[in-house]
């Protein structure tokens, strides 16, 4: 990713930004987590940089990664996630049981490089805003229930860095 990442440490511990901590808690609130995979989120631990599946930049303390593959999470992709649109670099929500539409606001993630929403129950069309993700090098939307035409992804097709795209 090109930046220092920390998942939590003692001593010179990176502390997450309060606004981003609240965004993550709101995102969690919109999910059904029957296996308590997100039990470290909230509660006694206020530093979201130490939460399972969350990565923070060690210099800026911004949340830059959300890695929750195979957690068996149910629900929709909450709009609360978009409060992290100026910091997230990597999002992996693959192999869960997320449903609903892929939000059009996804295109507002200006620094997003890696997006994996494969293996869910997402439906509807492909948001045209995907073409706004100009830094993206990995995109996997496969194994969902997406329908309709794939929009012209001019922004993605012109990227020299795009290494992987699957939308089947």
Q: In the predicted model, what is the mean pLDDT of residues 82-101? A: 95
112 vs 43: which has the higher pLDDT: 112
User: Strand 63-67 relative to strand 74-75: parallel, antiparallel, unpaired?
Assistant: unpaired
**pLDDT tens by residue, 145-162:** 988 766 555 555 555 555
- Which pTM was predicted? 0.86
Distance CA 59, CA 55 (A): 12
Q: Write down the pLDDT at residue 150.
A: 66
Q: Write down the pLDDT at residue 128.
A: 80
CA distances, 87 to each of 61, 64, 104, 128 (Å)? 10, 5, 18, 21
Q: How confident is the model at residue 3 (pLDDT cuts 50, 70, 90)?
A: very low
Distance CA 47, CA 14 (A): 8
CA distances, 121 to each of 90, 94, 117, 150 (Å)? 20, 10, 9, 17
Q: Write down the pLDDT at residue 156.
A: 58
Among 80, 115, 77, 81, smallest CA distance to 99 is for 77
Q: Write down the pLDDT at residue 104.
A: 87
Among 16-20, 37-41, 42-46, 105-109, the minimum mean pLDDT is found in 42-46
In percent, the amount of the chain with pLDDT more than 70 equals 80
**pLDDT tens by residue, 125-151:** 888 888 788 888 888 999 999 887 665
Q: Write down the pLDDT at residue 10.
A: 42
pLDDT over threshold 60, residue 75: yes
Q: Write down the pLDDT at residue 134.
A: 83
Q: Which domains does the chain have, with CATH numbers?
A: 5-166 (3.80.10.10)
Q: In the predicted model, what is the mean pLDDT of residues 25-41? A: 96
Mean pLDDT of the chain: 85
């Amino acid at each position: 990713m090109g930046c220092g990442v920390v998942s939590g440490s003692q001593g010179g511990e990176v502390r997450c930004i309060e606004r981003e901590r609240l965004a993550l808690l709101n995102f969690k609130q919109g999910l059904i987590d029957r296996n308590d995979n997100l039990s470290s989120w909230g509660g006694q631990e206020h530093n979201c940089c130490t939460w399972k599946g969350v990565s923070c930049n060690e210099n800026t303390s911004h949340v830059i990664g959300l890695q929750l593959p195979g957690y068996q999470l149910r629900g929709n992709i909450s709009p609360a996630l978009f409060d992290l649109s100026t910091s997230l670099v990597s999002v992996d929500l693959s192999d869960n049981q997320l449903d609903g539409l892929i939000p059009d606001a996804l295109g507002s993630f200006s620094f997003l490089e890696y997006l994996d929403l494969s293996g869910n129950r997402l439906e509807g069309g492909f948001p045209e805003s995907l073409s706004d993700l100009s830094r993206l090098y990995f995109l996997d939307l496969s194994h969902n229930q997406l329908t309709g035409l794939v929009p012209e992804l001019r922004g993605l097709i012109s990227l020299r860095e795009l290494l992987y795209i699957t939308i089947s």
